[in-house]
Amino acid sequence: MPFPVGIAGFTGYSGAEAVRILAGHPDLEPVLLEHRADTGGGAKLLKKSGVRRAPASAEAVRNEGIRAVLLATPPEVSMDLTPKFLGAGAIVIDLSGAFRLRTAERYRHWYKEEHTAPELFGEAVYGLPEYTREQVKGARLISNPGCYPTAANLAIRPLVEAGILDPRAGVICDAKSGVSGAGRKASLKTSFCEVTENFSAYSILGHRHVPEVLQTSGLEERDFSFTAQLIPLDRGILETIYFRTAQPMTAAEILAVYERQYAAEPFVRLYEAGHVPDLHAVRRTNFCDIGVVADPATCRCVVVSAIDNLGKGAAGQAIQNLNLTLGLPETAGLL
Amino acid sequence: MPFPVGIAGFTGYSGAEAVRILAGHPDLEPVLLEHRADTGGGAKLLKKSGVRRAPASAEAVRNEGIRAVLLATPPEVSMDLTPKFLGAGAIVIDLSGAFRLRTAERYRHWYKEEHTAPELFGEAVYGLPEYTREQVKGARLISNPGCYPTAANLAIRPLVEAGILDPRAGVICDAKSGVSGAGRKASLKTSFCEVTENFSAYSILGHRHVPEVLQTSGLEERDFSFTAQLIPLDRGILETIYFRTAQPMTAAEILAVYERQYAAEPFVRLYEAGHVPDLHAVRRTNFCDIGVVADPATCRCVVVSAIDNLGKGAAGQAIQNLNLTLGLPETAGLL
Amino acid sequence: MPFPVGIAGFTGYSGAEAVRILAGHPDLEPVLLEHRADTGGGAKLLKKSGVRRAPASAEAVRNEGIRAVLLATPPEVSMDLTPKFLGAGAIVIDLSGAFRLRTAERYRHWYKEEHTAPELFGEAVYGLPEYTREQVKGARLISNPGCYPTAANLAIRPLVEAGILDPRAGVICDAKSGVSGAGRKASLKTSFCEVTENFSAYSILGHRHVPEVLQTSGLEERDFSFTAQLIPLDRGILETIYFRTAQPMTAAEILAVYERQYAAEPFVRLYEAGHVPDLHAVRRTNFCDIGVVADPATCRCVVVSAIDNLGKGAAGQAIQNLNLTLGLPETAGLL
Amino acid sequence: MPFPVGIAGFTGYSGAEAVRILAGHPDLEPVLLEHRADTGGGAKLLKKSGVRRAPASAEAVRNEGIRAVLLATPPEVSMDLTPKFLGAGAIVIDLSGAFRLRTAERYRHWYKEEHTAPELFGEAVYGLPEYTREQVKGARLISNPGCYPTAANLAIRPLVEAGILDPRAGVICDAKSGVSGAGRKASLKTSFCEVTENFSAYSILGHRHVPEVLQTSGLEERDFSFTAQLIPLDRGILETIYFRTAQPMTAAEILAVYERQYAAEPFVRLYEAGHVPDLHAVRRTNFCDIGVVADPATCRCVVVSAIDNLGKGAAGQAIQNLNLTLGLPETAGLL
């Protein structure tokens, strides 16, 4: 019998994707945790879906035997719900930015609001399994990484660690995202006529995902330039990353670094030297695809990293973390 | 020196299109009439545009010497502003549905709200120049037709008048519109992720544009089935119209009826027998394009009628009406 | 151990979708049958996918122990390959139009070319499981229905059989399809700039899918008007179907007919009276969703039927048929 | 009476845009020069358009009194037609890459083919009016700049000239283009289903437009990294350009450099400090819009430059050059 897993914020795009993945998961079963802010919608089918529902309360989590809860909610809601669900004995995987940074000060600086549950920073584990797999396994509170940082860190960190990237020469991450990354709340900025046949940059140099990249990659802010941009499509993130190698290196040599790092990883895929992924390659998957182009003569290098922002960038990675905490096969429900 | 023309609702899609057309009009100059509901936006250029602005008040209309006002506002705002601007001596062209039907009862039935200016029904002229050109020329208040009815009436009325369409065999108008037809207000229904890679029908058999089609085409409701549908694109309306001819007729014979009716019309274009327009053909134009396919053996006929919903379906037709009322060449600024 | 299933035409959109479904099927395993016309493409991953490959020959089918072959190929290729694979002892499920009509004459009339394997008409079973489930179970050659006819027949046939639709009052099927329905071959008509922000009708009254609708629904050509139209999106078919009921009937009464017909069907879903499906509801599924709007006072009725053209309209239905012929659960790999 | 201007390649996207602009030009009239490679298409209107047509021959150019010819043709066709039309006394504005580089060797290196008219390099003027206005005025052969280099050079050159950009710290140009930039020829890469809901990078570090940027901006290849990327939209180019200032500078200080350079330019628009253009701002215009974001503390700077690839990136700039060579107002037909 499958374990019940609660999802708060199931009407949002990440939450709905988590429900979809859990519905096909061999060992888990979704329970929709109803919250006052849920917006309606959905097909008016004569035969209603049989997905379980319960209130988003500690009591319901206890009564329904819910082992783990995914919070696909805004940070302020996550800060409110997390202590309640932890108190009810559930593992919490939070998809918001509430617990990604490590201090209330950094949170205030980047999120422009006060943190209301700073006592939880200590036990929150940043759930990027490729780097924190062992901590995730024993965690009670997992902070699921942001979409942009997931694609950036998986591409950048191995190169910094291997010492082949020259940080002082600057690292540029030109990031492009589909519109679902902005959430489901109606807004002029994400309305169809404003987005279609358009392309726009936002939060240049000041995006709140920047500190997550610095934290994990080992870069310093002065060396890292990040731009977020909106592509007229539903889902997907592609990041074009520019840097200099400390010594002349071919694409194949740089790929060798990635191959060593990710040889055993089920969700990182590498491309032949000189080839890079596009968004179709990762659409509706939990993969992060990475490709390298380099010019050894000038040490210029371009790495392209692509994910589905609702997959490896949100709900997929949350299920990957969930599998780890529950002792299930890491890829269950995700291939 | 160009005449100043006021535009209320200039931040909406129809209003902005009217401003765009007027900016290139040889004889007219736009004046933006600022209203409390205007939403911001627009490029943050260092050199500001020189377009004139004034409050949306009778006094401003008098002071600025504004001869005519376009109301690209919701019906309830139009009902409020129309008497004020008429009182200030301006010609009013209303792009909303406020004055399209002829009685307060029909308005209440189809728009589900009370009409607050029923005394103006008497002098409101329905501005479909191909059929009401002479009345428009002398009018003080012009009700600009709805987008769907414009494409439908230009296609259907000549056939009803010529007696070649058998109304009792039923007339189907399967209409598809771009998203700008729903206006610029943020809404989940018109948000990018809900619309892209989607197609949906709404207001089946009950759309508020139906009575406008009946009023002008001469059809009765029991014989006319209308469905509105949302295409994942910005602008354009294409209507696929199905009916039976009373006698066997070829596409060429049916086209001859249109040719007689529209020989002198600058904004109705006809296609070779068996060929029909697509939306690219009318994009950003004031044309209504019509094509005919017929099977004389069975009297089945399909007519495709296409317009730009912001052009001939809204702002373009409003400028066409404006040209007529001001005694300017009908096509000025529109070709 | 899973049965190997061959797919010819695996680089096309329907073929690739079949490979994708089979890769997740609990009892079947895809084998790519390589054919001279396959176009390249695909991600240049360092670790190659482990999907089996073999030549598209009778010998390979025998040697690989392939029990069934899906032909996602053009009709002329299907006519050539079918006898070979049947001769090698495989079940053949043909996704082309080669064996959908019942005589070489009708094929010549609608497909404008000679049929080169007319001797196979006799044993080809039209694989619409909701109506031909028992014949499919014992068949050696299954002709998989066209995408447009699948959505049309599932919506129309129950009403004709129940005698509640008045055929002489005319049945209109206004069909809209995503671009993948046109296949993967490069063509100006399906190039991005021609399709985006466009909507166009084609094959009005003369589409080659019409005879399939007539054959299964029981309608006659003189009573049925069909238009195919291209939506600027990847996949999905939505058909808006207009007709008159013989007697006044509410939407709920019409739905009751569908409920009786489809009570046990796993892949037909019905909507509450007055509600209709959109394309997101069926995207990447094998469902056919049906909704009804009716005006009993005038006997006008509108039914909306939606499928994924690559799912229930092609590869999904092919796997459904495959499951039936191999004695597997009908829904295996499809939910 | 308007001057006749010939357009070869009028069925392509740039050519068609040139015809559209010329049709609204107060002093010029388009003449379609028919060439064997023209693909058909266009609406099948009953009343044919009155646009003049002539063969793409020297004789026709003489007979029709054509003063200037726009070549919206591939480089190899331009190399063939240019000497003929020059010989017929016409001014030639070539939109291809045939005459943009200055030697046959560079052409061979970047275009991978032999140049067949190297004797014309001497008199070809690179038509970027903001920098070569005076040479354009007296030229007989104008090489119209590439789309990517136009946006890049207008953004980069003023900063290099002013000495405020530190070239050795590297300049990154992450460029994104709509699909019309790839031309109208049918190709799998630009087919709708491959492009929609996708985003892909190509020609990383090796795009043939790179030498044009180096030539005009003054950068060296080792310091300049360029990536071209395909956005799922029709038209528009947005380039996100990253560099370091030699000294700490605010966005306002950097903008002051642009203001000095472009004060009198009709087609370069600047944004308030910290604001950048999107593609809607330049759609269907001849503007290049530029905005700046900077972090003085770290000398990091991001400039966004946007154009319409068919406007300032092709046909619009060609008409701007044409106006200059013919002594007409530079903005005629373009505002």
Query: 3.30.420.40, 3.40.50.720, 1.10.10.10, 3.30.70.141: which CATH number matches B3-145+313-325?
Result: 3.40.50.720
C72, amino acid identity: A
Question: Is there a contact between B72 and B9 (Cβ–Cβ < 8 Å)?
Answer: yes
Averaged over B8-36, what is the pLDDT? 95
Closest by Cα among A241, A54, C173, C184 to D186:
C184
Above 80 in pLDDT, residue D36?
A: no
Pairing of strands D68-71, D91-94: parallel
Rounded-to-integer distance, Cα B180 and Cα B71, Å: 17
Closest by Cα among C203, C185, A196, C14 to B198:
A196
Q: What is the pLDDT of residues A47-105, one digit of tens each?
A: 988 899 999 999 999 999 999 999 999 999 999 999 999 999 999 999 999 999 999 99
Q: Using the CB atoms, write b or e for B245-258: b if 16+ within 10 Å.
A: bbeebbbebbbbbb
Q: Using the CB atoms, write b or e for C66-75: b if 16+ within 10 Å.
A: bbbbbbbbbb
Confidence of residue B43 (pLDDT cuts 50, 70, 90): confident
Structure tokens at B314: 């809204």
What is the three-class DSSP state of A209? coil
Q: Using the CB atoms, write b or e for C126-148: b if 16+ within 10 Å.
A: bbbbbbbeeebeebebbbbbbbb
Beta pairing partners, B302: B242, B293
Specify the range with the lowest mean pLDDT, choosing from B18-27, D28-37, D104-113. D28-37
Query: Is C333 near chain A, with CB under 8 Å?
Result: no
Within 8 A of C13 by CB-CB distance, chain D residues are: 193
Query: pLDDT 10s per residue in chain A (335 long)?
Result: 789 999 999 999 999 999 999 999 999 999 999 987 666 667 899 998 889 999 999 999 999 999 999 999 999 999 999 999 999 999 999 999 999 999 999 999 999 999 999 999 999 999 999 999 999 999 999 999 999 999 999 999 999 999 999 999 999 999 999 999 999 999 999 999 999 999 999 999 999 999 999 999 999 999 999 999 999 999 999 999 999 999 999 999 999 999 999 999 999 999 999 999 999 999 999 999 999 999 999 999 999 999 999 999 999 999 999 999 999 999 999 99
Pairing of strands D268-270, D288-295: parallel
In D218-277, the residues whose Cβ lies within 8 Å of chain A are 221-222, 225, 227, 229, 231-236, 238, 240, 242, 244, 276
Query: Is C196 near chain D, with CB under 8 Å?
Result: yes
Cβ of B47 within 8 Å of Cβ of D275? The answer is no
Q: Using the CB atoms, write b or e for D312-324: b if 16+ within 10 Å.
A: bbbbbbbbbbbbb
Cβ of A46 within 8 Å of Cβ of C277? The answer is no
Rounded-to-integer distance, Cα A240 and Cα D152, Å: 18
Looking at the partner chain, which of B194, B201, B244 has a beta carbon nearest the beta carbon of C304? Answer: B201
What is the per-residue pLDDT for A37?
Answer: 66
Within 8 A of B180 by CB-CB distance, chain A residues are: 193
Question: Is there a contact between C150 and C95 (Cβ–Cβ < 8 Å)?
Answer: no
**Max Cα-Cα span within chain C:** 65
Question: Any idea what DSSP says for residue A191?
Answer: B
Structure tokens at B333: 């600024």
Query: Is B44 near chain D, with CB under 8 Å?
Result: yes
Confidence of residue B116 (pLDDT cuts 50, 70, 90): very high
Question: Is there a contact between B140 and B88 (Cβ–Cβ < 8 Å)?
Answer: no
Looking at the partner chain, which of D45, D271, D284 has a beta carbon nearest the beta carbon of B271? Answer: D45
What is the per-residue pLDDT for C40?
Answer: 63
Domain covering A3-144+313-325, topology? Rossmann fold (3.40.50)
Q: What percent of chain A has pLDDT over 70?
A: 99
Q: What angle do CA B196, A306, A184 make, to 5 degrees?
A: 35
**What is the spatial order of strands in the sheet that C237-244 belongs to?**
C200-202, C224-230, C171-177, C237-244, C300-307, C288-295, C268-270
Averaged over B15-39, what is the pLDDT? 91
Instruction: Give the chain C residue nearest A276 (alpha carbons).
Output: C44
The answer to pTM > 0.90 is yes
**Angstrom distances, CA of residue D151 to CA of B138, B305, C50, D22, D288:** 50, 39, 44, 23, 7
CA B238 and chain centroid, separation: 13
Cβ of A277 within 8 Å of Cβ of C43? The answer is yes
DSSP of D79-131: HHHHHHHHHTT-EEEE-SSTTTSSSHHHHHHHHSS--S-GGGTTTEEE--HHH
What is the per-residue pLDDT for D100?
Answer: 98
SS (H, E, C) C152-200: HHHHHHHHHHCCCECHHHCEEEEEEECHHHHCCCCCHHHEHHHHCCCCE
Within 8 A of B238 by CB-CB distance, chain C residues are: 199-201
Domain with CATH 3.30.360.10 in chain B: 147-309
Rounded-to-integer distance, Cα C247 and Cα C236, Å: 33
**CA dihedral angle for residue D307, residue A228, residue A232, residue D174, rounded to 10 degrees:** 40
Q: How many contacts does A have with C, using Cβ atoms within 8 A? A: 52
Query: pLDDT 10s per residue in chain C (335 long)?
Result: 789 999 999 999 999 999 999 999 999 999 999 987 666 667 899 998 889 999 999 999 999 999 999 999 999 999 999 999 999 999 999 999 999 999 999 999 999 999 999 999 999 999 999 999 999 999 999 999 999 999 999 999 999 999 999 999 999 999 999 999 999 999 999 999 999 999 999 999 999 999 999 999 999 999 999 999 999 999 999 999 999 999 999 999 999 999 999 999 999 999 999 999 999 999 999 999 999 999 999 999 999 999 999 999 999 999 999 999 999 999 999 99
In B128-157, the residues whose Cβ lies within 8 Å of chain C are none
For B303, the enclosing helix (H) or strand (E) is: strand B300-307
Above 90 in pLDDT, residue B26?
A: yes
Confidence of residue B42 (pLDDT cuts 50, 70, 90): confident
Q: What percent of chain B has pLDDT over 70?
A: 99
Within 8 A of C271 by CB-CB distance, chain A residues are: 43-46
Q: What is the pLDDT of residues A216-234, one digit of tens each?
A: 999 999 999 999 999 999 9
Closest by Cα among C92, D212, D193, C176 to B200:
C176
Instruction: Give the chain D residue nearest C43 (alpha carbons).
Output: D200
- Which residues, including other chains, have CB under 8 Å from residue C1's CB and lie 6 or more apart? none
Burial class of A169 by CB neighbour count within 10 A (0 to 12, 13 to 18, 19+)? middle
What is the per-residue pLDDT for D55?
Answer: 96
Query: Is A169 near chain C, with CB under 8 Å?
Result: no
Q: What percent of chain A has pLDDT over 90?
A: 96
Instruction: Give the chain B residue nearest D333 (alpha carbons).
Output: B24
Rounded-to-integer distance, Cα B39 and Cα B73, Å: 12
D45, amino acid identity: L
Sign for the CA dihedral angle at C88, C89, C94, C100 comes to: positive
Domain covering A147-309, topology? Dihydrodipicolinate Reductase; domain 2 (3.30.360)
Go through chain A and tell me how many residues it has.
Answer: 335
What is the per-residue pLDDT for A50?
Answer: 85
Within 8 A of C255 by CB-CB distance, chain A residues are: 46
What is the per-residue pLDDT for D209?
Answer: 97
Closest by Cα among D290, D303, D289, D298 to D242:
D303
Query: Is C41 near chain D, with CB under 8 Å?
Result: yes
Residue in this structure with the two tokens 């006072």, named with its chain if needed: C297
Cβ of B44 within 8 Å of Cβ of D197? The answer is no
Domain with CATH 3.40.50.720 in chain A: 3-144+313-325
Closest by Cα among B163, B195, B80, B150 to B312:
B150
Within 8 A of A197 by CB-CB distance, chain C residues are: 196-197
